[in-house]
């Protein structure tokens, strides 16, 4: 979520069964509902903000009108007091919670190191030894680049195309996507099966556009990248002149690959990236690449069906393999080997990697401390092993039960919402409801934990453990091909501060790491929690009906289940969101890419709509909640949503995100959806013409 607003947390007694939802634009106002913070129309009974309110009024900026810029109104005080720390490129409520979780994981790993004996082969032993090897700076410094020696020698011995193909296969077994990427994927049109998939890849910069755009900033970034590559070759021992030549070779090859790659927007269309082929068809597509040899080398000698995500890319790459001199490919492979390994090597490699990818690309001023990087690396390698220990410390059965109930209630709210959509036909409505009812709901942590029995971890070099973890993950992934889909599997570890919807599984997933304040706070009032975690739950659910999710049916198959007229209406409504976000300027001359962020933005708008309706239903049949610090329950709902997006971000990081991230920047995730909601305008008495009220002819409404 946040990443996708893909999030959630636990609720306590606020979880009640929800039935039909009221009016599409919100229920009729009650006395005081629409009053602003200082309005005389507020009820007499008010209470001051406290730990029980869920929000701190000092985080707000009362000098700004809620109807002019709600992000600033809700978060201006917080933004002013919370500059981005030197070791981060952005800083917000997500990052703060993530750091809290990392500290818990740090404590767990440190406690494992204190144990005198851990039985070999146990998860605890592997966690301790992996973390210990990462923290062993003297050994890492003494080794320098020596851990790469055998692989560099093997690359140096490549003499022909066959040797190049062999090394590409080795890279792929180490989780390095040289030239292209390969792995297991659910069959888009047969969601019960897992097939092989080949996709474009092989770039060192964040996106193909970094190679293809010709503006001054893009040219500058390519120049800095070439310098970074050259400096890294020098660290391997190459003379400066040779290193410059090698860097020029790398950028030349990567540019050719990038020029034939599809854009991120194009890759959002599942139909355009589904091209299943058998081996004969694949060999015809790429006659210079020996797929039989490659598949045998990665352990898949009998695999049949392979989805080729971007056939034109593979046609072009195939020609490059034979046209580009083998020595140039060897240089390319040396770069991708050291680039993938830099963070496991000595400090000079770590610093060079950080100076480009951290400082230059994201504006980060200093590197994170060693322990912090090692905790994250351990979580990445043994996420569910570490997650089991995290769950024991942080997530009670009661918390899981409350979260499950909250998700159930929001599902009921969306079901009720579907029954009121005037633009959707009965045929499509029935299928949409069936899809909603089929949602698989995963809360907190897996019911079946992943086995790490086959993963070898020792007290030896950190690099060796990192490679071992990569090989283990690749083997586990490739082992799924040809097997039934494992519907118990999770795509995130339990401590992750995020959540997601998977269209092929038709599942919504909420790790325990996000089920905490500020997204859900047991001390906060119901309005604030519904605006926070309720909108998050709704966000993930409506991902099932965003511009991509809407193309997958209840069983997770890529299939058109809409009537043609309904899908046309749906597309018109999502196009409204595209146009809206195209208009948001990040900095002079740089706008959000509406076609890239449309999925997340549709889910934000849908999630808020569903959560607000759920909260209104919750209020029925009980005493009117009090005004707190001058804010009505409805106003606190919108504050609850806005304040989870409090964020400061460096200009460099903002530019990177606009180019690569399908999620809009935080301020647009607040002002964008809320300006489409009459319920928001009613709550804060905003008028036509106010910046937070989009004109009726430009207002986007889907759910």
Task: Give per-residue pLDDT as tens, 32-48.
Answer: 222 233 222 222 233 44
| Domains defined for the chain, CATH in brackets | 46-89+395-442+489-698 (3.40.390.10), 143-367 (1.10.1380.10)
Mean pLDDT over residues 383-402, rounded?
Answer: 90
Catalytic hit among 526, 540, 566, 634: 540
The pLDDT value given to residue 42: 27
What's the whole-number mean pLDDT along residues 484-495?
95
Check residue 226 and give its pLDDT.
Answer: 98
pLDDT in the model for residue 524: 81
pLDDT score, position 364: 98
pLDDT tens digits along 284-328: 999 999 999 999 999 999 998 999 999 999 999 999 999 999 999
- Please report the pLDDT score of residue 223 as a whole number: 98
Ramachandran region, residue 26 (left: φ > 0; alpha: ψ -120 to 50; beta: rest) = left
Confidence of residue 516 (pLDDT cuts 50, 70, 90): confident
What span, in angstroms and rounded, lies between the C-alpha atoms of 434 and 342?
48
Residues sharing a CB contact under 8 Å with residue 82, sequence separation 6 or more, in sequence order: 91, 646, 648
How does residue 2 score in pLDDT terms, banded at 50, 70 and 90?
low
Q: Is 246 among the catalytic positions? A: no
Q: Given this model, what pLDDT does residue 403 score?
A: 81
Q: Is 553 a catalytic site residue?
A: no
Q: Average pLDDT over the chain, rounded to whole?
A: 90
pLDDT at 517: 85
| Residue 620 pLDDT | 87
State residue 513's pLDDT score: 92
Please spell the DSSP secondary structure of 136-175, one letter per residue. Answer: -HHHHHHHTTGGGHHHHHHHHT--SHHHHHHHHHHHHHTT
Give the angle subtended at the CA of 189 by the CAs of 186 and 195, to the nearest 5°: 35
Using 50, 70 and 90 to split pLDDT, how confident is the model at 9? Answer: very low
pLDDT of amino acid 30: 26
| Mean pLDDT value of segment 132-151 | 97
Distance CA 278, CA 276 (A): 7
Worst-scoring range by mean pLDDT, 2-16, 30-44, 86-100, 579-593? 30-44
Q: Residue 340: phi, psi to the nearest 5?
A: -70, -25
Q: What pLDDT does 54 receive?
A: 63
pLDDT for the residue 19: 24
Given 3-state DSSP classes, what are the helix, strand and coil percentages for the chain, each rounded to the nearest 5? 55, 10, 40
Give the whole-angstrom CA distance, residue 371 versus residue 139. 15
- Please, which pLDDT band fits residue 631 given cuts at 50, 70 and 90? very high
pLDDT value of residue 29: 28
Distance, in Å, from the CA atom of 603 to the CA atom of 5, rounded to the nearest integer, reads 8
- Classify 107 as helix, strand or coil: helix
User: Are residues 356 and 228 in contact, defined by beta-carbon separation less than 8 angstroms?
Assistant: yes
45-69 mean pLDDT: 74
Are the beta carbons of 313 and 262 closer than 8 angstroms? yes
pLDDT at 392 over 90: yes
Mean pLDDT lowest among 164-178, 319-333, 358-372, 515-529: 515-529
Alpha-carbon gap, residue 95 to 647, rounded angstroms: 9
560 to 310, 465, 549: CA distances (angstroms):
22, 45, 11
pLDDT band, very low/low/confident/very high, at 8 (cuts 50, 70, 90): very low
Q: What angle do CA 604, 605, 607 make, to 5 degrees?
A: 65
* Contact present, 536 and 8 (Cβ < 8 Å): yes
Specify whether the CB–CB gap between 602 and 701 falls below 8 A. Answer: no
pLDDT over 60 at 49, yes or no: no
Q: What is the mean pLDDT of residues 16-23?
A: 25
Q: Which of 417, 604, 634, 661 is catalytic?
A: 604
Look up the pTM and report it.
0.90
Q: What pLDDT shows up at residue 460? A: 87
At 352 the three-state DSSP class reads helix
Q: Give the DSSP H/E element, type plus range, for residue 425.
A: none
Distance CA 413, CA 19 (A): 7
HEC profile of 205-229: CCCCHHHHCCCHHHHHHHHHHHHHH
Q: How far is CA 175 from the centre of its chain?
A: 19
The 10s digit of each residue's pLDDT in 543-598 is 999 889 999 999 999 999 999 999 999 999 999 999 999 999 999 999 999 999 99
């Amino acid at each position: 979520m946040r990443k996708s607003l893909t999030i959630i947390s636990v609720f306590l007694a606020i979880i009640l069964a929800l039935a039909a939802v009221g009016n599409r634009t919100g229920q009729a106002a009650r006395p005081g509902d629409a009053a602003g913070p200082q309005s005389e129309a507020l009820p007499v009974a008010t209470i001051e903000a406290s730990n029980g309110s869920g929000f701190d009024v000092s985080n707000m900026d009362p000098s700004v009108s809620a109807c002019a810029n709600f992000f600033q109104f809700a978060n201006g005080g917080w933004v002013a007091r919370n500059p981005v720390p030197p070791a981060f490129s952005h800083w917000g409520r997500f990052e703060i919670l993530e750091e809290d979780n990392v500290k818990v994981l740090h404590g767990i790993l440190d406690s494992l190191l204190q144990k005198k004996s851990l039985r070999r082969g146990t998860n605890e032993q592997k966690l301790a030894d992996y973390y210990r090897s990462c923290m062993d700076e003297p050994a890492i410094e003494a080794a320098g680049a020596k851990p790469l020696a055998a692989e560099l020698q093997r690359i140096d011995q490549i003499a022909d195309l066959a040797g190049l193909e062999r090394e590409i296969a080795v890279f792929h077994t180490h989780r390095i996507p040289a030239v292209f990427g390969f792995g297991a994927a659910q069959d888009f049109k047969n969601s019960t099966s897992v097939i092989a998939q080949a996709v474009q890849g092989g770039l060192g910069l964040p996106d193909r556009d970094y190679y293809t755009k010709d503006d001054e900033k893009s040219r500058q970034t390519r120049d800095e990248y070439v310098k970074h590559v050259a400096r890294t070759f020098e660290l391997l021992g190459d003379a400066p002149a040779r290193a410059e030549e090698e860097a020029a070779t790398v950028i030349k090859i990567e540019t050719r690959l990038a020029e034939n790659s599809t854009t991120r927007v194009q890759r959002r269309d599942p139909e355009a990236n589904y091209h299943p082929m058998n081996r004969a068809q694949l060999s015809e597509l790429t006659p210079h690449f020996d797929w039989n040899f490659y598949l045998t080398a990665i352990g898949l000698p009998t695999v049949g069906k392979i989805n080729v995500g971007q056939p034109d890319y593979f046609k072009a790459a195939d020609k490059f393999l034979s046209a580009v001199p083998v020595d140039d490919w060897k240089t390319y492979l040396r770069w991708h080997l050291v680039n993938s390994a830099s963070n496991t090597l000595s400090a000079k490699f770590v610093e060079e990697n950080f100076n480009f990818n951290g400082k230059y690309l994201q504006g980060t001023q200093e590197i994170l401390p060693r322990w912090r990087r090692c905790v994250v690396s351990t979580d990445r390698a043994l996420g569910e092993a570490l997650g089991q220990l995290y769950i024991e410390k942080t997530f009670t059965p009661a918390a899981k039960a409350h979260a499950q109930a909250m998700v159930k209630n929001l599902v009921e709210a969306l079901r009720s919402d579907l029954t009121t959509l005037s633009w959707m036909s009965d045929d499509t409505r029935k299928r949409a409801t069936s899809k909603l009812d089929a949602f698989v709901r995963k809360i907190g942590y897996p019911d079946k934990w992943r086995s790490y029995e086959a993963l070898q971890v020792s007290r030896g070099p950190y690099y060796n453990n990192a490679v071992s973890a990569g090989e283990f993950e690749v083997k586990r992934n490739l082992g799924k091909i040809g097997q039934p889909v494992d519907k118990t599997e999770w795509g995130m570890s339990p401590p992750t501060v995020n959540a997601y919807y998977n269209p092929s599984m038709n599942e919504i997933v909420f790790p325990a790491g996000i089920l905490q304040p500020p997204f859900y706070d047991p001390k906060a009032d119901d309005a604030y929690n519904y605006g926070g975690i309720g909108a998050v739950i709704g966000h993930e659910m409506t991902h099932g009906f965003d511009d991509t999710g809407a193309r997958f049916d209840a069983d997770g198959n890529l299939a058109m289940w809409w009537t043609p007229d309904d899908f046309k209406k749906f597309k018109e409504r999502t196009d409204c969101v595209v146009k809206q976000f195209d208009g948001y300027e990040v900095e002079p001359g740089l706008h959000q890419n509406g076609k890239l962020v449309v999925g997340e933005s549709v889910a934000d708008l849908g999630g808020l709509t569903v959560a607000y309706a759920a909260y209104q239903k919750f209020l029925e049949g009980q005493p009117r909640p009090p005004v707190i610090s001058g804010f009505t329950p409805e106003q606190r709902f919108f504050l609850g949503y806005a304040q989870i997006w409090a964020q400061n971000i460096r200009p460099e990081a903002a530019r990177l995100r606009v180019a690569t991230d399908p999620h809009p920047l935080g301020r647009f995730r607040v002002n964008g959806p809320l300006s489409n909601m009459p319920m928001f305008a009613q709550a804060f008495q905003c008028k036509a013409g106010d910046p937070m009220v989009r004109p009726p002819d430009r207002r986007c409404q889907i759910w």
